[in-house]
A and B are shown apart, each in its own frame.
Chain A
Amino acid sequence: MTLELKATPEEVMRAVETLEQFARVNGVPEKIVFGLMLALEECGSNIVNHGLQRDARQKFQVTIERTHDGFVIELHDRGPAFDPTTAPERKPPTEDDAPGGWGIQLVRGHIDEMHYRRVDGENILRLVKHVNGPGKRQSLS
């Protein structure tokens, strides 16, 4: 299932809600649903806020797929090249730290695999979460 979204925070949350519904229909445990939602929210927000500068005329795509052993979420955007997999691990926050910058850390805490590639001017970020138990390849119609 593929969603085409405008580069706004509200559209990010539309994708997150769609993912939530899809995950629940597929019987995914609550804790994993939260993690999937959080990962998509963080990555989608990065695209909207940094890559596409909250320009509602710009668009990005999210695909959501249930595989035999989990979920795959892919985000596609045509913003400047940015590889979140190379973002350094953030040290524990201190009193003097500027607030924020925890998005990628939260994604890493909830997702099993994160892959990035740049193809023909497009950022493609692939998030993989393995879910225990049976599951077959299907997508939301």
Chain B
Amino acid sequence: MPLEIKIQKDADPKKSGVVTIILIGSLDTATAPELDRQMMQCLAGRVSDLVFDLAGLKFVSSAGLRLFTVARKQMVARGGKASLINMQPQVEEALAIIQSLPGFNLFRDLAALDRYLAERQGSHFKPPESGENN
């Protein structure tokens, strides 16, 4: 059960500091160490908003949930934010069982995240026209 990890740093200067980690596959006891490694490399740079896009994540265990929490703590320490978007129902249920992860922003889709980022970054960032990010 492999895990594909894609890290996207937004080229738009108005959204600088926003890093999206796209996870595809399975985040489990075997694949979590690689995400940990790449995530730490990412966090060594300038990140103000860390977003985990979970649209392609079919399986997650406590090993993965732990990494989300580690990432969030690191973001809080630097005055940033961490968000989860596009969760599959099973992943959402796993979060519900542990009564969620404190302090995470959970977004159903990219449009909701964009609106949130726009609020955080004020006039420096405007979300795309509605309907573009469903």
Contacts and interface: CB of A to CB of B under 8 A. Distances in A.
A48 B102 contact: no
Contact of A99 (B70, B76, B103): B70
A90 B98 contact: yes
Interface stretch (B4-12, B56-64, B110-118): B56-64
Interface stretch (A61-69, A71-79, A103-111, A124-132): A103-111
A99 B67 CA distance: 8
Chain A binding surface SS class:
helix
A103 B62 CA distance: 6
B30 A13 contact: yes
A93 B99 contact: yes
Given A93-B99, A99-B69, A38 B29 contact: no
Contacts, number: 80
A101 B66 CA distance: 8
B102 A100 contact: no
Contacts of B67: 99
B69 A31 contact: no
A101 to B, nearest CB: 8
16 contacts: A10-B30, A12-B29, A38-B61, A38-B94, A48-B29, A92-B98, A93-B99, A95-B103, A97-B102, A99-B66, A100-B62, A102-B62, A102-B65, A102-B98, A106-B61, A109-B97
